[in-house]
Structure 1
Amino acid sequence: MFFVPFLIMLREGLEATLIVVIITSYLKQSGQGLWLKYVWLGVISALVLCLLLGIGIEKTTGEFPQQQQELFEAIVAVVAVVMLTYMVFWMQKASVSISRDIRAAVDNALTRSHAPARALMLMVFLAVAREGLESVFFLMAAFTQDVGVMAPIGAVSGVVCAVLIGFALHFAGSRLPLKAFFRWTSLLILLVAAGLSAGAIRAFHEAGVWNYLQATAFNSSDILSTHSLFGTLLESLFGYQSMPSQSEVLVYLLYLLPALTWFLWRAKQTSSSYAQ
């Protein structure tokens, strides 16, 4: 499982990086570079918080009995689904005017606050911490499904790529087709979240919380087994199961169909507004 952690951390890292790049570039361009140190203090504080939270969760979960671990994994998966969904739809809305909105927020923090340094640092801290906390809960859900080294390597690689893209945007003035990038990765992430939601209901069953609709919905093991290369890839990326229960299929569809419909409708509305 390399690609999914890579994709999520690239997305999360790039969102956070874009916010920081916009703020730092605006401060430099407007001759307010003296405030840059407070931006970096906000970034570092947010990263430390997320790191401590991840370590704390990792240390405590090992002490749970098996049934409680399954319940914890189910809850983490639900939180990850909620945060991934929020991330997709927030970015779909914010990408239209993210630069203008962030610059306005910086102006507000520096001109209207009694303590502009603290206000600016808090604004950056909250922006980066939001992305970081989303990442923590997603990675916890992903790592419980794959105990190998590829998932952490994918996550670190995603962050590194996001930072490198941020540096390219900041120093070289590079222009990337970010709108298309966020659109296609959003669709992939919705599929990932649908797989996580099905995995959550499976974990709730293993924890003894959910025992309904457990009959096998279909058996595709003869066509595409999870032991095959492609089946393993689909399982890692999108939570594919060759013999899912009825509740897994139901939850998968109940999440994916409305989410995709809403995403595509909003994309169409945004395109129509641009055309006008």
Structure 2
Amino acid sequence: MLANYLIGLREGIEASLIVGILVAYVVKVGRKDVLNKLWFGVGIAVVVPLGVGALLTWGPYGLSFQAQEIIGGGLSLVAVGFVTWMIFWMGKTARTMKGTLHTRLDAALLGAGWGVVVLAILSVGREGLETALFVWATVASVGGSWEPAVGALLGIITAAIIGFGLYRGFVKINLGKFFTWTAGFLILVAGGVFAYAIGDLQEAGLIPGAGVHAYDISTIIPASSWYGTVLQGIVNFNPSPTWLQVIGWVAYISVVTFFFVRQHRTAAPSPAKRAAEMTTSTQQPVAH
């Protein structure tokens, strides 16, 4: 649940920042008449991921075991790809997010402003789709338990509260450090989902090595124990992985961590300055 809470929190705060920047700019340029259109687009961006999550959850029912494993493994790989891209995208574009959204919004405000609906759907919907896909992958990896989904929902609710506080200026947090630390944690979570995807594809017969375990520590950390359940829920812990799962997990963690650290060492300005800029950009202008 903790892993998905952080996923929901991180993605929710990203979405809240985007909405806050859009709303603040619309108010600043005196186009309050399009606020309803903006919120309509945000509403669609929220509903679509819910539909995608429902389709992923109930769509595969009735299929053969092999087909379900192929779909599960394939979509888990897609989820890992989305999350990995999200981590590096945020580190690269956080400094220019405000300016980019303002430029796109200027174009969307032309005429009656219906382009704002499309901009809201694309800007916010991406975060929702990433969340839906990754949460589904983690739910599937722990045997269909709904705790991860509940954790993600609680994270999104928390993010909405924090986002409102940032917009109103009631809350100030170091967003640079927040995104950096949560990104590091999500690398671990994504590594677990990547290993799970390999296991699914092995079970489906698409990848060899099924049943050939690298080790088995289930007697030391039983999967059914409370601590085994906690580890499984946080980092998709598997007490008896195959050799390919171990190799895949180590390779993913090593490669992604290397490029993540390199990106943050060469990034400028500092995370604290980026956080201050992003926090300021979401605050509502004072009316005179």
Gap change, CA 1:224 and 1:155, over 3 Å in 2: same
Aligned length: 271
Please state whether the residue corresponding to 1:217 is helix, strand or coil: coil
Contact 2:138 2:236 in 1 (8 A): no
1:181 alignment counterpart: 178
1:221 CA drift (Å):
3.7
The code of the aligned residue for 1:211 comes to: P
Question: Which segments of 5 or more consecutive residues in structure 2 lack a partner in the other structure?
Answer: 272-288
1:3 CA drift (Å):
1.0
Contact 1:76 1:140 in 2 (8 A): no
The code of the aligned residue for 2:3 comes to: V
**Whole-angstrom distance in 1 between the partners of 2:45 and 2:224:** 40
1:155 CA drift (Å):
1.6
Deviates more, 1:40-49 or 1:99-108: 99-108
**Whole-angstrom distance in 1 between the partners of 2:61 and 2:113:** 40
Contact 1:214 1:246 in 2 (8 A): no
Please state whether the residue corresponding to 1:196 is helix, strand or coil: helix
Please say if 1:133 is aligned against 2:132. Answer: no
Contact 2:141 2:236 in 1 (8 A): no
The code of the aligned residue for 1:172 comes to: G
Please say if 1:219 is aligned against 2:209. Answer: no
Please state whether the residue corresponding to 1:148 is helix, strand or coil: coil
Please say if 1:152 is aligned against 2:149. Answer: yes
Please state whether the residue corresponding to 2:114 is helix, strand or coil: helix
**Whole-angstrom distance in 1 between the partners of 2:95 and 2:222:** 42
Deviates more, 1:165-174 or 1:78-87: 165-174
Contact 1:214 1:247 in 2 (8 A): no
2:281 alignment counterpart: none
**Whole-angstrom distance in 2 between the partners of 1:94 and 1:272:** 12
Question: Which segments of 5 or more consecutive residues in structure 1 lack a partner in the other structure?
Answer: none
1:16 alignment counterpart: 15
Normalising to structure 2: TM-score of the pair? 0.87
2:284 alignment counterpart: none
2:286 alignment counterpart: none
The code of the aligned residue for 1:201 comes to: I
**Whole-angstrom distance in 2 between the partners of 1:116 and 1:240:** 52
Two-structure CA RMSD over aligned residues (Å): 2.1
Deviates more, 1:15-24 or 1:165-174: 165-174
**Within 5 Å, which residues of 2 pair with 1:8-47?**
8-47=7-46
The code of the aligned residue for 2:137 comes to: A
1:3 alignment counterpart: 2
**Within 5 Å, which residues of 2 pair with 1:1-276?**
2-110=1-109, 113=110, 115=111, 117-146=113-142, 147-212=144-209, 215-271=212-268
